[in-house]
Amino acid sequence: MLVTPDLFLSVEVLALLAFVGLAAGFVDAIAGGGGLIALPAMLAVGIPPVGALATNKAQGVIGTLMAVWTYARGGYVRFGALVIAIATTFAGSYTGAFVVKQLDTSVLEIGVPVLLIGVATYFTLAPRLSDVDRAARLSFAAFVPVMGFLLGFYDGIFGPGTGSFFTMGFIVLFGLGVTRAAANTKVLNAASNLGALALFMLAGDVLWPVVIVMAIGQIAGGYLGARTGIRFGARLIKPMVVVISVVLALKLLWDQIGAF
């Protein structure tokens, strides 16, 4: 199958990318970090970096929306409470993607791994994390839209760990149980991905044949991941967030070492 004039992907490679989409969607629905699987795979088969980034956003949002639908059916999402936050997250991500070329993001390459290790440490050492909601430290209606804009902006200009940061925020600041926090994270993750994707689409960077193939896997993976998260709750989500946060931190640090 010819994807672009300069890129040819065989049926076997496209089938592999569909499986990659399934694995990425499964992991992403539980703890985020599906891009750790999908993006390197696309680069490995010869998709150029910009095209891989844009295509990753497009195929990833499909699995995320499937996860949102599954969590919502289980009663873990109240969309009415998230309407403003969805809009601010979309706006933040679009703005971040728009201004990324004018910003020096080198400080993020050092600071984000430290924050991710902090997230992993919190989830490891906090023994009372469960699926039971607790008292919120901040008003959900007033401050979730603020968190959405800030993390959406971060996702637009850099991105790694956005899901972990959302989950941490919903638990620590707004008192949600772990499974509800994961479900609400998927909603705002979808809005953030769509914001950045809107800019990539206008630039013509998305490889739609690859998106279609990987979307098949993402739909299955997003559904299975969300069902698994609902089934096992905090017992699974908590360690998965720790693993994803640590792996992301180590990858970012390794990339920094390789740059020297």
Taking only the tens place, the pLDDT of each residue in 189-203 is: 999 999 989 988 888
139 contact partners, CB below 8 Å, separation of at least 6: none
pLDDT of residue 45: 87
Measured in degrees and rounded to the nearest 5, phi and psi for residue 201 equal -65, -40
Measured in degrees and rounded to the nearest 5, phi and psi for residue 2 equal -85, 120
Token pair belonging to 220 = 């299955």
pLDDT of residue 70: 96
Find the distance separating the first CA and the last CA of the chain, reported in whole Å. Answer: 38
**DSSP code of residue 8:** E
In whole numbers, what is the pLDDT of the chain averaged over residues? 88
Token pair belonging to 141 = 């209606």
pLDDT of residue 4: 53
Length of the chain: 260
Tally the domains of the chain: 1
Most confident option among 44-58, 61-75, 229-243: 61-75
Owning domain of residue 76: 2-259
Please, what is the Cα angle at 225 between 220 and 230, to 5 degrees? 130
Closest alpha carbon to 188 in 81, 95, 59? 81
| Contact criterion met (CB below 8 Å) for 38 and 59 | yes
Residue 2 has pLDDT above 50, yes or no: no
Query: 3-class SS at 242?
Result: helix
- Tell me how far apart the alpha carbons of residues 50 and 97 are, in angstroms, rounded to a whole number: 12
Residues 12-31: what's their mean pLDDT? Answer: 92
Token pair belonging to 92 = 């933040």
Residues 79-88: what's their mean pLDDT? Answer: 97
Query: 3-class SS at 171?
Result: helix
Residues 104-118: what's their mean pLDDT? Answer: 75
pLDDT above 70 coverage of the chain, percent: 92
Closest alpha carbon to 64 in 28, 35, 17, 21? 28
pLDDT-derived band at 65 (thresholds 50, 70, 90) equals very high
pLDDT of residue 123: 83
- Tell me how far apart the alpha carbons of residues 60 and 234 are, in angstroms, rounded to a whole number: 23
